[in-house]
């Protein structure tokens, strides 16, 4: 039976997963806790550098199992402290990369999660659901294409029906495809980028609003490309700038209703999307031009999303957090 046919796989509430760190649970009893230390770590060498990435190529959209160097989503390192207890979240692109890391972190913080993903990414979606359920939370997986407005509406309705409501919307799914310049960007590609990255965000926010109560949060994934556009990613960069502007505008509208809207701006992050959409020479040197000298890992993004979704960020709206390896943002 396909995962999206079952849809709502129910986790074992109260059964902590690896590194769950539920309130009241001794940290020393967690599997792998010897590696979970607050001792200073050199950020330049904490994760693999470009010399270990290779120049592998994957068919789009790319799946985690086909990557020679697997991304770190925080499986053995993220410890929750109950910041999102009993919250209900939608995460688009939640099957892999940043989306998987956010789903894992949200679950270990106590949230139930619906992940949206493409049917071709089902194996990755199953693994994300396993991680959520191992943290003792409920996982709902819904396959489909968010380029379709009705599918976006249906995602919100599934979250409300299967999770019992909606508190957090994470617009994370995105499409990119590197080209040599504007002459090689077809109208078909431009439409796909805009519908996946911008239209879907608009549709999901609009559908979610009737269900969001004061204290709810919308978090959009923009990019360093919104500030420093690469010519090879002209359409993608344009969409990410639109996301940033949309975030600032919607935050002003929803602030009086107690709904916060923020964004995370990643720099180069090692996910299946990179070897599936960029030429080999770019993959081989991906992240090398940052001050920290390497690409970031999805696990290094998740805490920013947790912070923005939690009460710790109750006085923050219309803002963005840059996670760029040291490349400056204005």
- Annotated catalytic residues are 236
How many CB atoms within 10 Å of residue 262? 24
C-alpha Rg value of the chain to the nearest Å:
19
Q: Is 7 left (phi over 0), alpha (psi -120 to 50) or beta?
A: left
Contacts of 227 (CB under 8 A, 6+ apart): 241, 265, 329, 330
Question: What per-residue string of b and e applies to 62-76 under the rule 16 or more CB within 10 Å gives b?
Answer: bbbeebeeebbbbbe
Question: What is the spatial order of strands in the sheet that 112-117 belongs to?
Answer: 8-9, 139-143, 112-117, 88-92, 168-171, 217-221, 260-266, 320-323
Structure tokens at 109: 């913080």
């Amino acid at each position: 039976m396909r995962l999206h046919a079952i849809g709502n796989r129910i986790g074992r509430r109260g059964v902590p997963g690896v590194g769950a760190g539920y309130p009241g649970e001794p940290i020393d009893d967690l599997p792998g806790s010897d590696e979970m230390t607050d001792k200073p770590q050199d950020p330049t060498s904490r994760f693999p550098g470009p010399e270990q990435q290779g120049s592998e190529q994957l068919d789009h959209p790319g799946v985690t199992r086909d990557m020679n160097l697997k991304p770190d989503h925080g499986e053995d390192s993220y410890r929750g402290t109950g910041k999102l207890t009993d919250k209900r979240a939608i995460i688009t692109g939640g099957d892999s990369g940043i989306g998987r890391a956010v789903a894992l972190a949200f679950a270990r913080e106590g949230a139930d999660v619906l992940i949206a993903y493409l049917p071709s990414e089902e194996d990755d979606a199953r693994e994300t659901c396993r991680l959520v359920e191992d943290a003792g939370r409920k996982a709902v997986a819904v396959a489909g294409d968010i380029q379709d407005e009705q599918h976006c509406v249906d995602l919100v309705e599934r979250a409300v029906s299967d999770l019992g409501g909606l508190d957090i919307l994470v617009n994370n799914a995105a499409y990119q495809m590197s080209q040599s310049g504007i002459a090689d960007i077809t109208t078909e590609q431009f439409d796909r980028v805009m519908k996946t990255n911008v239209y879907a965000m608009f549709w999901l926010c609009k559908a979610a609003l009737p269900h969001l109560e004061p204290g709810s949060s919308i978090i959009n994934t923009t990019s360093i490309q919104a500030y420093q556009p690469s010519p090879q990613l002209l359409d993608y960069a344009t969409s990410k700038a639109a996301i940033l502007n949309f975030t600032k505008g919607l935050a002003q509208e929803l602030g009086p209703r107690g709904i916060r809207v923020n964004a995370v701006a990643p720099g180069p992050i090692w996910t299946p999307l990179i070897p599936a959409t960029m030429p080999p020479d770019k993959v081989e040197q991906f992240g090398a031009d940052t001050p920290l000298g390497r690409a970031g890992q999805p696990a290094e993004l998740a805490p920013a999303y947790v912070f923005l979704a939690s009460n710790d960020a109750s006085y923050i709206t219309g803002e963005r957090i840059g996670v760029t390896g040291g490349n400056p943002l204005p």
